[in-house]
Amino acid sequence: MLALVIGGAASGKSEFAESLAMSLAAERYYVATMMSYDAEADRRVERHRSMRRGKGFATVERPLDLAGMELKSGPDAVVLLECASTLLGNELCMPQGSGSGAWQAILAGVERLVNSGINVVVVSNDVFGEGSAATPEMREYTRQLGLLNCGLADMADCVAEVVCGLVQVHKGSLVSRGRA
């Protein structure tokens, strides 16, 4: 099962995605894509760590190469990928990243996880309501994020958008262990 959870900054998407992941499986992996590079990033990383403390998530730091990630998981497992938009930025901008093929590389990584039988919940940002991108790099990031989000939505069993903490399901239905 693949669920895509999308929303703007501070929309509540991370909290919702975490809750969904916890309802799907007892064996939980949190794939963290953000790298700490300044004090603000450190605060965001710590906030996310404290949100999932005591909830049974094993954290896997994976800022690049999602397709190359190896998990030794059982049949009742879920991966919470937090978040696809950060992973895209890493893949686009880091020298060892996928560059112009970033969105396809991430999509291939998610597809590999789903095909392995693992439940996957992907968090991604909606940056399209924030005005036009000012630089060529931001325009390319926005273009690739659009392609990535569309590709994920196409693959997904469920697509949910979170706005102001309110969840709107656009595709499929919310599912949890043992119930639809």
**Does residue 176 form part of some domain?**
no
* The pLDDT of residue 175: 65
Q: Of these residues, 13, 20, 22, 48, which one is catalytic?
A: 48
Domain extent for 150? 2-163
* The pLDDT of residue 170: 95
- End-to-end Cα, the chain, rounded Å: 12
- The Cα 102–Cα 149 span in angstroms is 12
User: What's 143-165 look like in SS3?
Assistant: HHHHHHHHHHHHHCCEEEEEECC
pLDDT in tens, the chain (180 residues): 999 999 988 899 999 999 999 999 999 999 999 887 788 878 877 887 787 788 899 989 899 999 999 888 877 899 999 999 999 999 999 999 999 999 999 999 999 999 999 999 999 998 776 666 689 998 999 999 999 999 999 999 999 999 999 999 999 987 655 433
Amino acid at 49: R
**Does residue 15 form part of some domain?**
yes
**Does residue 57 form part of some domain?**
yes
**Does residue 130 form part of some domain?**
yes
**Does residue 169 form part of some domain?**
no
pTM of structure: 0.90
**Does residue 170 form part of some domain?**
no
- The Cα 90–Cα 81 span in angstroms is 14
Q: Structural domain tally of the chain? A: 1
Q: What's the CATH number where 54 sits?
A: 3.40.50.300
Amino acid at 96: Q
Please indicate whether residue 170 is annotated as part of the active site.
no
